[in-house]
Chains A and B, each alone.
Chain A
Amino acid sequence: MVTAQDVVGTVTDPELPMLSLVDLGVVRDVREENGRVVVVITPTYSGCPALVEMRDDLVNALRTNGFEDAEVRTVLSPAWTTDWMTEEGRRKLAEAGISPPARVGPRSVGPVPLSLDPPARRLSCPQCGSRDTEELSRFSATACKALHRCRACREPFEYFKEI
């Protein structure tokens, strides 16, 4: 029998269709409340324009699979972190040519120090594997990615930045 959990696991991110919302760590809970399926999601960024789309995709997928009474709740806290991305998700990103995020771990309390140094982590080019890469911009086609370039093959590539 297909469970609500199974159905939720098939719904992909509107901006990164190679990842499911579960891979991305956006789905925080799937549970049943008095016969109603409740899916709890959290936005990646405050301004994520895909949130409404995610909700509708989840509800539609659940209805199509017989879960007529489905509700999606959005929570803000705790704030989403790339550490919630699954191993499977990281692998799929890499396969799609997007460099996956490093682990950030728990954030220390107190003021956030500013570092003006170039990023310590050298990414490998997803095209040719060269380590001779550079950061072009910390912002890219979506809020969650940064733009890098390989100096060996000259191809630009995206990097899912830690948050």
Chain B
Amino acid sequence: MNNAYDGLNEEHGDDARWAYGTGFADELSTVDRALPSTVDKADLAAYALMLGDDALVLAQRTSEWCSRAPELEEDVALANIALDLLGQARLLLTRAGEAGSRPSEAPSHVPDEDALAYFRTASSFRNVRMVELANGDFADTIARLLLFSCQRLALFTRLSASADPVIAAVAAKGAKELSYHRDHAARWTVRLGDGTEESRRRMIAALDRVWPYLDELFVAHPVELRLAGVAVDPASLRSEVDGVLDQVFAAATLSRPSVSPAEGGGRDGSHTDALAEVLAEMQVLARALPEATW
């Protein structure tokens, strides 16, 4: 095979498909997939869904930049970040499915990860509100990526010791990717914050818009508290995350925003209208043509 696109040729056979799609078996992992005996299955499913939905919704939002980013390199960077998050989401939604989570509305031939992504309505999604917000301008997107990836990297570093072998494996792998995401967002924050008058104005405004949604990332959900050993209490990550953010703000000559927290509740299915917009776009094809493969 000479190049990546040969895989798309018909003569390559029906089995070979390049990139994601539906309609073919994709065994993602044969890590020890047994469910830990001491863990409540419903809680594990709920936790995997929280982590998976965060990644899925942010992947979808971030991919909206594809072909629209301010420069070609940035287009590529954001698409790569979205792809990493999508990969993490798939593994986590698959885990949620194994632990018993599957929407009854989904056609039976659809794999669990797709059933969960495409056949739930907004109130069944368990992501934090921060990830569903509209992209806004480039600074808004960077501000969100900075806050999210700082928290997520701290979380995944700790989750790599989770008692659930699948969550531990996803986290250990994801942490390496997230460290590149955090780097990217941090460097842009410095470049914009300590840049021109206009870039600085926009970076400050962006942080003011996203900051209210930060607190929700550190509020422990009862599921997380019940899953001691499997989950991490997000409240315990706050000081580490604050330390990294302060380092970025110092380099960017910015100060911590002083804005009041917004309402949370995403983990219990209470979302802003923005989530329904994301889902309408993301789910339209799978719902209109449930037999479609691509």
Interface set of A (CB-CB < 8 Å, partner B): 12, 14-15, 17, 43, 45-53, 56-57, 59-60, 73-81, 110-112, 114-116, 136-143, 147, 161, 163
Cα separation A123 to B86 with both chains bound (whole Å):
31
Contacts A73-B27, A75-B30, A147-B73 given; indicate if A114 touches B244 (C-beta within 8 A): yes
**A139/B244 in contact, CB under 8 A:** no
**A77/B1 in contact, CB under 8 A:** no
3 smallest beta-carbon distances between A and B, as pairs: A47-B87, A46-B87, A139-B77
Cα separation A111 to B3 with both chains bound (whole Å):
39
0/1 interface trace, chain B 171-200, chain A, CB 8 Å (1 if under): 011111101101110110010000000000
**B173/A112 in contact, CB under 8 A:** no
- Which of B19, B26, B186 makes the CB contact (< 8 A) with A114? B186
B103 at the interface (CB under 8 A from A): no
Q: Is the interface of A mostly helix, strand, loop or mixed?
A: loop
Interface set of B (CB-CB < 8 Å, partner A): 1-4, 7, 13, 15-20, 24, 26-31, 73-74, 76-77, 80-81, 83-88, 90-91, 153-154, 157, 165-166, 168-170, 172-177, 179-180, 182-184, 186-187, 190, 240, 244, 247-248, 251
- Which of B15, B73, B157 makes the CB contact (< 8 A) with A136? B73
* B18 surroundings in chain A (CB, below 8 A): 14, 49-50, 52-53
**B183/A138 in contact, CB under 8 A:** yes
* A76 surroundings in chain B (CB, below 8 A): 28-29, 31, 91, 166, 169-170, 173
* A139 surroundings in chain B (CB, below 8 A): 73, 76-77, 80-81, 180, 184
Cα separation A17 to B2 with both chains bound (whole Å):
7
Cα separation A60 to B154 with both chains bound (whole Å):
41
Cα separation A126 to B163 with both chains bound (whole Å):
45
- Which of A50, A53, A138, A161 makes the CB contact (< 8 A) with B77? A138
Q: Which residue of A lies closest to B175 (CB)?
A: A112
Cα separation A116 to B253 with both chains bound (whole Å):
13
Contacts A76-B91, A141-B76 given; indicate if A47 touches B84 (C-beta within 8 A): yes
Cα separation A52 to B84 with both chains bound (whole Å):
16
* B176 surroundings in chain A (CB, below 8 A): 79, 81, 163
- Which of B3, B15, B84 makes the CB contact (< 8 A) with A46? B84
* B87 surroundings in chain A (CB, below 8 A): 43, 45-48
Contacts A17-B1, A139-B76 given; indicate if A112 touches B179 (C-beta within 8 A): yes
- Which of A17, A75, A110, A138 makes the CB contact (< 8 A) with B29? A75
* A116 surroundings in chain B (CB, below 8 A): 186-187, 190, 247-248, 251
Q: Which residue of A lies closest to B18 (CB)?
A: A53
Cα separation A141 to B15 with both chains bound (whole Å):
25
Apart from A15-B4, A137-B74: 7 A-B pairs, beta carbons within 8 A: A47-B83, A53-B7, A74-B27, A77-B31, A78-B172, A114-B183, A138-B184
Q: Which residue of A lies closest to B2 (CB)?
A: A17
**B86/A52 in contact, CB under 8 A:** no
* B29 surroundings in chain A (CB, below 8 A): 74-76
Cα separation A3 to B1 with both chains bound (whole Å):
22
Q: Smallest Cβ distance from A59 to chain B, in angstroms?
A: 8
Q: Which residue of B lies closest to A140 (CB)?
A: B76
Contacts A49-B20, A79-B176, A116-B190 given; indicate if A12 touches B1 (C-beta within 8 A): yes
